[in-house]
Amino acid sequence: MADAKVIPFDDDRSRAGAAARPSRRRNAGSSRRKGESAVVREVQALPGRARPQDDVQVTREQQPPQQPQDQPGHPSPSPSPSSAPDGGVVGGLERRIAGGLSFLRRRLTGDYEVDDFGYDAELTDQVLMSLVRPLYEKYFRVEVKGIENIPSEGGALIVANHSGTLPLDGVMMQVGVHDNHPAGRHLRLLAADLVFVLPVINELARKAGHTLACAEDAERLLERGELVGVMPEGFKGIGKPFSERYKLQRFGRGGFVSTALRQGAPIIPCSIVGAEEIYPMIGNAKTLARVLGFPYFPITPTFPWLGPLGAIPLPTKWTIQFGEPIRTDGYPPEAAEDPMLMFNLTDQVREQIQHTLYKLLVQRRSVFF
């Protein structure tokens, strides 16, 4: 009688063995001895007779473990937490709880670092980013293109269009850079002075790494090798009426170009599509804006008619595209004082952003999809 081969099907010695078992079954035919049949048939024992075992060679590794099942007094052993199917989930939950408790301990004891701009990297990564990430991923479904144009290290200036009535585009750009860049870089945004006079917004902006939109702060950040973001349109862009959507406003006097030239930092144009439609601004209550000290007071199809519900943005589909860098390190130091050069570079950046906006608008299927 030819030697029979016993293939254990209930070998649960380890998870690694279970993962490797299908490959052993695929290679069983290739490792048989010469003359052995390629087809392995299951041998059924005759009724009333035991299966012959004298001529079957069973090694110790092939011997399936004998576990009593459904017998009184012999309960089946419960799986350990490490071998349970959801052991990874439980372990991950425990690690998150331990990390959260450690984070709270550091916050209570003051054992965390804040730079001289007020930027709190740990709070931004673990709390602030986590709060806005669902808005980025699920609500606006932001798609990022051209992330490879952002350098992995060193200072760089990202120049983007500004829109949306409320400055959500800057926050979404910050999350997009951090979550998509291979180096996980942080974007330090230059914000208007109004941001830093509002009670709660002021603290959150400082903690998230934002600073005042001035040449001195921008140069210090670039000198440190930080990634700096600026939206030269300012309130003219974010507060423009819906009828002028995706039409870039004036880029000021080109101060951002002068800053990049002084530091030799590349300028990266950025085009954002989708933010214009979150709050379609159909009117501006200028008198009320002057009373409140705001640059504009928006009137949209839902605000202020629906009260607080009118402040919910529309779930538009966003696309953020980073263009090819414009190098500035080839210019001499005195080029930062050349008004003609600054005008030309500013116009070049503006035209590149506008051209990309038109291209993205043609490519998108719908405002919401």
Q: Across all residues in the chain, what is the average pLDDT?
A: 82
Instruction: Output the CA torsion sign for 358, 362, 363, 367.
Output: positive
- Most confident range (mean pLDDT) of 49-58, 123-132, 249-258 is 123-132
Give the pLDDT band of residue 109 (cuts 50, 70, 90): confident
Give the pLDDT band of residue 86 (cuts 50, 70, 90): low
Query: Measured at the alpha carbon of residue 75, what is the angle toward residues 69 and 76, in degrees to the nearest 5?
Result: 65
Would you say 120 and 112 are in contact if contact means Cβ atoms under 8 Å apart?
Answer: yes
Per-residue pLDDT, 205: 95
Contacts of range 57-64, beta carbons closer than 8 Å, 24 or more positions apart: 57/3, 58/6, 62/6, 62/7, 62/8, 63/8, 64/8, 64/9, 64/10, 64/11
**Distance, first Cα to last Cα, the chain:** 69
Burial (CB count <10 Å: 0-12, 13-18, 19+), residue 108 = exposed
> What would the mean pLDDT of 43-65 be, rounded to a whole number?
43
> What would the mean pLDDT of 145-158 be, rounded to a whole number?
97
Q: How far apart are CA 250 and CA 237, in angstroms?
A: 9
pLDDT above 50 (res 79) = no
pLDDT above 70 (res 148) = yes
Classify the phi-psi angles of 165: left when phi > 0, otherwise alpha if psi is within -120 to 50, otherwise beta.
Answer: left
pLDDT above 70 (res 21) = no
pLDDT above 60 (res 132) = yes
357 Cβ partners below 8 Å, 6+ apart?
161, 246, 248, 271, 273
Would you say 231 and 239 are in contact if contact means Cβ atoms under 8 Å apart?
Answer: no
Among candidates 340, 347, 345, which has minimal Cα distance to 330?
Answer: 345
- Strands 298-299 and 283-284 come out as antiparallel
Per-residue pLDDT, 74: 45
Per-residue pLDDT, 150: 98
Amino acid letter for position 122? E
Give the pLDDT band of residue 48 (cuts 50, 70, 90): very low
Per-residue pLDDT of 199-209, as tens digits, reads: 999 999 999 99
Distances (CA, A) of 255 to 90, 214, 230, 261: 53, 9, 11, 10
Among candidates 212, 86, 229, which has minimal Cα distance to 171?
Answer: 229
> What would the mean pLDDT of 52-59 be, rounded to a whole number?
42
pLDDT above 60 (res 76) = no
Instruction: Output the CA torsion sign for 16, 22, 23, 27.
Output: positive
Q: Which two tokens stand for residue 215?
A: 């040449």
pLDDT above 50 (res 145) = yes
Among candidates 178, 182, 181, 176, which has minimal Cα distance to 142?
Answer: 176
pLDDT above 80 (res 348) = yes
Query: Measured at the alpha carbon of residue 110, what is the angle toward residues 195 and 199, in degrees to the nearest 5?
Result: 20
> What would the mean pLDDT of 297-320 be, rounded to a whole number?
95
Per-residue pLDDT, 140: 98
pLDDT above 50 (res 60) = no
pLDDT above 60 (res 191) = yes
Burial (CB count <10 Å: 0-12, 13-18, 19+), residue 51 = exposed
363/74: higher pLDDT? 363
pLDDT above 70 (res 367) = yes
Per-residue pLDDT of 233-282, as tens digits, reads: 999 999 999 999 999 999 977 889 999 999 999 999 999 999 999 999 99
Per-residue pLDDT, 82: 42
Spatial strand order of the sheet with 156-160 comes to 143-145, 319-322, 267-273, 156-160, 227-230, 187-191, 211-212
Least confident of 99-108, 207-216, 313-322: 99-108
Would you say 235 and 192 are in contact if contact means Cβ atoms under 8 Å apart?
Answer: yes
Per-residue pLDDT, 162: 96
Per-residue pLDDT, 88: 65
pLDDT above 90 (res 346) = yes
Cis previous bond, 304, omega within 30: yes
Residue 341 CA to chain centroid, in angstroms? 36
Phi, psi of 157 (to 5 degrees): -115, 115
pLDDT above 70 (res 117) = yes
Per-residue pLDDT, 87: 57
